[in-house]
Structure 1
Amino acid sequence: MRRNLGFKSEAPRYSLLAFDAFAFKKGLTTINITRELAEEWCGRRPDEATDTWSHRNCFLRQLSIYLVNLGYDSYIPSRVFGKHDNFIPYIFSDQEIQALFEACDSLVLFDKHARSEIMVMPALIRMLFSTGIRVGEAANLLNRDVDLDHNYLILRNCKNGKDRMVPISDSLAETCRQYRKYRTLLPDNSDHFFVKLNGCKCLANSFYLWWSKMLKIADIRRRGKVPGPRLQDIRHTFCVKSMVQLAKEGKDLYYILPILSTYVGHQSLAATDRYLRLTSQMYPELLSQTDSICSYIFPELKYRPND
């Protein structure tokens, strides 16, 4: 059912396996989740993180609700709330973005290492900043999915289980052409667009070492104990700066919200709406300009005594 709704459902799959083993060990022989069984499963384990505990609880709640909807007698446990998500992403300034471009262009490989990803970094970083796609989506790009004649990317098997097409700019297309020219000189060991020096596919987690080096070269420091700037913050920067640019052009942010949501591959508007709230906090004057442009939709009513 979850897969038909567009979810990948990898985590629930393992949760189902774990709960099935737990129920079998407890001697459950019928399709019936009792209160005792649910409370034992939902009990917090020693040294268990709050989020992990919340996810286990939420999984069993969803399973019990599903069974009840099918007509089975199943106990629905109360909800356990995880930590409040108050993390504020790092939004790069234009100067920092330029510094990161210069940093990735200056990377040097001191050792002969055929498994290095150094050659892909200039094109990869520019692609992430220009499109806001996820790091994993970029790593999974196939060579045939990068159309530089018509300037678009085809992203397959994305986070929400759907494919999508992403238009790219002329400047990014030219950068990709330069990268592809060098890619053809490498061994043909993979159909992926981004490959190592040995021609094999790049893994998404292999970019983080180079990312740390780039931050150091660009002199962009971490904010104390707060995580980041992270590689994922490039995506956050793209969303916020896209909204800022559209607001400066006089566009209604709530009108373009569904468009941006579709472009970046969000499954719901709620995921994109957080960027709208972040934009309003960072650039409050832009929303006031947008309100004045759209004020004619709800005209001001004049009070008349006889009404």
Structure 2
Amino acid sequence: MSDTDYKSVLAPYMAQLMEMERAAGAVNTHLHGILKDFDDFACAYGLKDTSVSESFIIGWLKTRINESERTVYNKVSVWRKLLTLMNRRGCKCYVPRAMRRPHSTFTPYVFTESELSSIWTEIDRQRAHKNNADSPLMTLPAIYRLLYSAGLRMGEALSIRNKDINLQDGTILIHATKREAERIIVLHDTMKNVLRDYIECRNRMPLSGLTNPEHHLFVKLDGTPVSDKAVYANFRKLLKKCGIQYGGRSRGPCVHSLRHTYAVHALANMTRKGMNIYAALPILSASMGHHSLEATEYYVRLTRNTYADIERNSSAINAFVYPSKSKSYDD
């Protein structure tokens, strides 16, 4: 979706807001969609000028009754940014009051070492029962291992193109990040070998264009990019075969739990090797592509809860800086 998709009288200001957020490195993958939602409502409402009234905002809020408290909070925050910008540009707009940030009750699922071992064993033994060109099975072992070993989000992994990966240096340039801020991840030697084996196998398929620098790294048997839906669906089946109970939506475990597990395991490994937790936290934050350290602090609490030895070694000041009461986090 591009900024030109906006059609209402608010479109120029939406485009300006997008540009400001990009310049600040604060754009996330949901902002386009939120602004498009505003734009669609403004068109349906019949907004004719750039004077946004309180009744207009109240009317929009009434259409949000089926959305979660956190979703409405996030959208109202975007409204405040947009309308404040419009006021600065000379428009007379009502700016809604800031909502209290809802408390998040979501607890990320962290796989045990035994569960991870079962996942790797089961995914390696999966075979397609028929010659299905739409099957992603050839690619999934590498995708799942990359999600865990590098802590990537699904969209980041599936957006990797051939030109982004450098196996000689052991690095991947990640473009499709949550806040559109590029970062480089460094691969473990075992992960480099996994990707090297996958690429060699992929390139033996009698399809043209697979080695093109712009071609997606992860493809199905027909050479088309793997979709997130295919990965999610297979992972649910994988969990069942491994005897790992699925708790339902927002309860996990799910594919994204591999990222949560990476964060906890990485932090645990760094602290066990003697690294001060204050030095480890910024490293983890940068590797995960978080916008702030606050988003990563959540994993400190998860790590201390998961590993008793780290909890025992945590100082009293750590307990003060990272209290047990959970805040919402940026995954």
1:281 aligns with 2:305: yes
Counterpart residue number, 2:39: 17
Q: Which has the larger radius of gyration?
A: 1
Query: After superposition, what is the alpha-carbon deviation per residue over 1:235-274, rounded to whole angstroms, capped at 9, x for unaligned?
Result: 0000011111111112111222111111111111121111
Q: Structure 1: any 5+ residue segments left out of the alignment?
A: 295-307
Aligned mates of 1:136, 1:285 — CA distance in 2: 34
Counterpart residue number, 2:267: 243
1:119 aligns with 2:138: yes
Query: After superposition, what is the alpha-carbon deviation per residue over 1:43-85, rounded to whole angstroms, capped at 9, x for unaligned?
Result: 3555454344434433322222223344543222223457531
Counterpart residue number, 2:13: none
Does the CA contact (< 8 Å) of 2:304 and 2:311 recur in 1? Answer: yes
Deviation at 1:14, TM superposition (A): 0.5
Equivalences, count: 291
- C-alpha change, 1:103 and 1:211, in structure 2 (3 Å) is same
- C-alpha change, 1:84 and 1:291, in structure 2 (3 Å) is closer
Does the CA contact (< 8 Å) of 1:33 and 1:73 recur in 2? Answer: yes
Counterpart residue number, 2:288: 264
Counterpart residue number, 1:199: 223
Letter matched to residue 182 of structure 2: D
Aligned mates of 2:124, 2:71 — CA distance in 1: 40
Aligned ranges for residues 22-101 of structure 1 at < 5 Å? 22=44, 25-26=46-47, 28-29=48-49, 31-43=50-62, 45=64, 47-81=66-100, 83-101=102-120
Aligned mates of 2:202, 2:42 — CA distance in 1: 47
1:176 aligns with 2:195: yes
1:102 aligns with 2:121: yes
Q: Structure 2: any 5+ residue segments left out of the alignment?
A: 1-19, 319-331
- C-alpha change, 1:196 and 1:223, in structure 2 (3 Å) is same
Query: After superposition, what is the alpha-carbon deviation per residue over 1:170-213, rounded to whole angstroms, capped at 9, x for unaligned?
Result: 11111111111111112135511111011111122221121112
TM-score, scaled relative to structure 2 = 0.80
Does the CA contact (< 8 Å) of 1:42 and 1:56 recur in 2? Answer: no
Counterpart residue number, 2:251: 227
Aligned ranges for residues 151-162 of structure 1 at < 5 Å? 151-162=170-181
Does the CA contact (< 8 Å) of 1:247 and 1:290 recur in 2? Answer: no
Aligned mates of 1:53, 1:247 — CA distance in 2: 38
Aligned mates of 1:275, 1:282 — CA distance in 2: 10
Aligned mates of 1:259, 1:51 — CA distance in 2: 28
Aligned mates of 1:19, 1:62 — CA distance in 2: 17
Identity %: 27
Counterpart residue number, 1:129: 148
Deviation at 1:132, TM superposition (A): 0.7
Does the CA contact (< 8 Å) of 1:251 and 1:290 recur in 2? Answer: no
Does the CA contact (< 8 Å) of 1:15 and 1:59 recur in 2? Answer: no
Aligned mates of 1:225, 1:183 — CA distance in 2: 33
Does the CA contact (< 8 Å) of 1:39 and 1:77 recur in 2? Answer: no
RMSD: 2.5
Does the CA contact (< 8 Å) of 2:133 and 2:221 recur in 1? Answer: yes
1:217 aligns with 2:237: no
